[in-house]
Every structure is written in C-alpha cells, then in structure tokens.
Amino acid sequence: MESIQAVKQRFEIIGNDPKLNRAIEKSIQVAPTDISVLVTGESGVGKESIPKIIHSLSHRKHNKYIAVNCGAIPEGTIDSELFGHEKGAFTGATQTRNGYFEVADGGTIFLDEVGELPLPTQVRLLRVLENGEFLKVGSSKIQKTDVRIVAATNVNMGEAIEKGKFREDLYYRLSTVEINLPPLRQRGEDIHLLFRKFASDFAQKYKMPTIRLNEDAVSLLLQYNWGGNIRQLRNITEQLSVLEEKREISYATLKQYLPNVGSNLPAVISNKKVESDFSSEREILYKVLFDMQRDINDLKKLTMELMNHGNSSKVKEQNAQLINKIYSEDEDREAQIAAFAEEEEVPEAHDVEVLNIPENAPEETEDKYHFAEEIEEEESLSLQDKELELIKKSLDKYGGKRKDAAKELGISERTLYRKIKQYNL
C-alpha cells in the first residue's frame, strides 16, 4: 500500500491539512475493493483527483478509466451516452453506438456532478449498481458490465432527496464509502503553498520571474473566503503572473484581483449582537411580568384577608412581611417596566387591573377594599419621587451625559430623554 506522501507526489496534490490527508488515506484504503465511492465537496476543491487515485491503485488500473460530466450532457442524450443505443432508436440514430458502460467494461467510470442526473437515468444507473445489467436505448436485450463506479457531487444530497430530485436508494448504493474534501478556506497554510506552486508553474509556462507575496498580502490570502476554492486561486495566480509588472505583490495589488473582499473576509464582530440584546431585554420583561402576576395574587390574598376578618390593623400586623416585600420589589420593577413601556408598548403598571370592585358593592364591602386602594396610591407616589431622585443623581454623577446615565439606571437613552422632559429636568 502506497503512503499518503507518495500519492500526493504522484498526483501533484499540495497541502498538509488533516482533512485532506484523511480523504487521501480513505482513497488508498478503498482502492483495492470494488465498492462504489461518493466524493463530496464544494465546486473547485479537486474532487477529480480522488477517482484517479482509486483507479490507479486498484486491480482495474490496466483497463479503461472514463470521466463523465453528467451536468454537461443534455437530458435527452445522456442515456444514449452512458448505455448506448441501437440503430433507429431515435431520430438521428443512424448506427448502433456503444455507451460508456460497455466501453469501460472491466474498468472505472467517474460520474462527475452525479446529482444532476435526470430521474429516469438514475433508475438505469441503480440497476447497473445492483446487478451489473443495462439496456441500450431502443433495445430489449439485457447486457452485462463489470464497471467500478466512483461518483462526485457538490450538491447537498440530503436536500436533493427531500425535494425528490435524487433517489434515496441510489444515493445509498453510490455512497457505500463517502469521501469528503474540505473547502480551501478551511485548509490554513495550504492556501499559500498552493499559491506558490501555481506561481512557479505559470512562471515556467510564460517564461518570466516567479511572483511572490509580501507579508500583508499573505495575510489577505489566508483570510479570503475563496468561494471558488482551488480553481479560483489558480485563476487569480495566473492573472497576477501575466498582468503585474512588479514581481512582489502587495496587499493593495492582491485586493484588486479579489472580488467582494469585504464580504468574503471573516467577520470579527458578530452580526447577531442586536438580536441577542433584544432577546435578553425580552427575557427581563417576561420575568418582570411574571413577578407582577405573583404579587397580584399576593394582593388578592391580602384583600381576601381584609374581607374575611375586617380588622385592618390585625391583618397588617399578620401580613407585614408580605406588604414590605411588595413595596421593595415593585420599586425596582416599575423602573424596569418604564424602560420598555414606550418601545415595547407595554401597559404601565398602574393600568393593570388588580382589583375588580363591584359598582353596587355595600358600604361595608367597599371599606374592606379601602386598604388595598391605599397601598396602590401610596406606592405610585413613592415610585414617582424615587424615580425623579434616581434620575437627578445619575445625571449629576455623569455630568449630564444621558447615555451613561441611562446605562447606570438600566433604561434606554430614549426612555431617559422622555423622563427628563416629563419632569422638566
């Protein structure tokens, strides 16, 4: 069994990325068998190298190797290309033609862009994979073939199966072993190694000195997204080699050849910050509302005590801890609600109906509700005074800077500005 390094040298594969090495290792391991292989990866990552490695290391290496680009053959003729046709099978079929599966008998067929195959052709291919049988177009005679199939695709096969564009049973037949090649942007220092290799090749081809990158240009090269992968890198290197007079390429020069540099560089600041801030504020608001609901229940309980016992002094004494808790917690909560009231259109706390006193309630019953009304009225007044005092202190502390004061108070700058106008500060 050949080593990974030997295979790289033989097929001129550049790079030391662990994922790349693993893909080559799997190719070496699977080559002596006859099982089908599916090579996956983005367009331009070099998927065509894998079937060549597999064929050259297999017992079929002395037989034919045929590469077929399934996406480049029209739907109406692909069956004829793959399986052949009989004379007169369709208009223009002036003679019998042997298809790739017949010609490559005993060898290997590489089906590139297999995800583009039309559904009727997928059915024919499935039959070849299952029992090695196929029919020429226009023929009823079953023929046998002994072909090793290696397929490749840049399509998300799971999505294609879900949308009904690719047969699930064919996918599992093709992907007995799946080999994935990583995109160029994930291969780190391999990018610069490939650039240097391409630069050297083009220098020899065009008989000119080899271009090289300065330090800043190398950083840009490594940070760029490389949507077209190795194919795009090779193209950029060739352009630089031919068009640039200076052989040392600067950051500014390289940038001119890279499309959409800003959008293709990795983001330093997450664009989800605003969303996460909003989610955080929403969670706080929900907590405030749940706490309010709990305190409303406490008030109802307190009111029922008053209605049942009638002695407000005794009830106050027995429920002193509950009353103090409601006062202390609601001061903070009202300030939080004020911050959301304008932007989230949340009703003010005093708009929430806490008690539903009957209009025609007897005088005695109304007196029993009187204590709860006093709590609400006193609380509202104390909150307003406390709010005014806190705003003044915060503004004094930060020398009138609303942004810092709002942050200190835990409210938005917009809400603080409204409060300043409200209190004529």
**pLDDT confidence of residue 10:** 94
**pLDDT confidence of residue 250:** 95
What is the average pLDDT across 43-55? 96
% of residues, the chain, pLDDT over 90: 57
| CB of 54 closer than 8 Å to CB of 108 | yes
The pair of three-digit structure tokens given for residue 23, joined into one six-digit string? 């893909």
In terms of average pLDDT, the best of 85-94, 164-173, 393-402 is 164-173
**pLDDT confidence of residue 147:** 96
As a residue count, the chain comes to 425
**pLDDT confidence of residue 266:** 53
What is the average pLDDT across 142-158? 95
H or E segment at 109? strand 108-112
Q: What mean pLDDT is reported for the chain?
A: 81
The residue written with tokens 């052989």 in the block is: 247
Residue 80 CB partners (closer than 8 Å, separation 6+): 89, 90, 93, 97, 99, 137
Confidence class for position 276, pLDDT limits 50, 70, 90: very low
Confidence class for position 318, pLDDT limits 50, 70, 90: low
Side-chain-side CA neighbours of 145 within 13 Å: the count stands at 30
The residue written with tokens 């010609």 in the block is: 103
**pLDDT confidence of residue 282:** 63
The pair of three-digit structure tokens given for residue 161, joined into one six-digit string? 């199966």
Distance CA 312, CA 298 (A): 16
The pair of three-digit structure tokens given for residue 119, joined into one six-digit string? 């559904």
% of residues, the chain, pLDDT over 70: 74
The residue written with tokens 């990018």 in the block is: 191
Chain centroid offset of residue 255 CA = 26
Distance CA 67, CA 178 (A): 18
Q: Which residue has the higher pLDDT, 337 or 37?
A: 37
What is the average pLDDT across 261-285? 53
Residue 12 CB partners (closer than 8 Å, separation 6+): none
Using the predicted structure, report yes or no on whether residue 211 has a pLDDT greater than 90: yes
Closest by CA to 165, choosing from 35, 100, 71, is 71
**pLDDT confidence of residue 335:** 53
Confidence class for position 347, pLDDT limits 50, 70, 90: very low
**pLDDT confidence of residue 286:** 63
**pLDDT confidence of residue 368:** 43
What is the average pLDDT across 11-35? 95
Using the predicted structure, report yes or no on whether residue 38 has a pLDDT greater than 90: yes
The CATH fold assigned to 4-182 is Rossmann fold (3.40.50)
Range of lowest pLDDT (267-276, 284-293, 385-394): 267-276
Using the predicted structure, report yes or no on whether residue 45 has a pLDDT greater than 80: yes
Segments making up each domain of the chain, as ranges: 4-182, 186-264, 273-422
Distance CA 254, CA 313 (A): 84
**pLDDT confidence of residue 93:** 84
Using the predicted structure, report yes or no on whether residue 61 has a pLDDT greater than 80: yes
Dihedral sign of CA atoms 89, 93, 94, 96 in order: negative
Q: What is the pTM of this model?
A: 0.61
Confidence class for position 68, pLDDT limits 50, 70, 90: very high
What is the average pLDDT across 109-116? 96
Statement: 186-264 belongs to CATH 3.40.640.10: no
Residue 67 β-bridge partners = 110
**pLDDT confidence of residue 306:** 65
**pLDDT confidence of residue 279:** 55
Amino acid at 322: L
pLDDT, tens digit, for every residue of 157-185?
999 999 999 999 999 999 999 999 999 99
Using the predicted structure, report yes or no on whether residue 150 has a pLDDT greater than 50: yes
Confidence class for position 283, pLDDT limits 50, 70, 90: low
**pLDDT confidence of residue 269:** 41
Q: Are strands 84-85 and 97-98 parallel, antiparallel or unpaired?
A: antiparallel
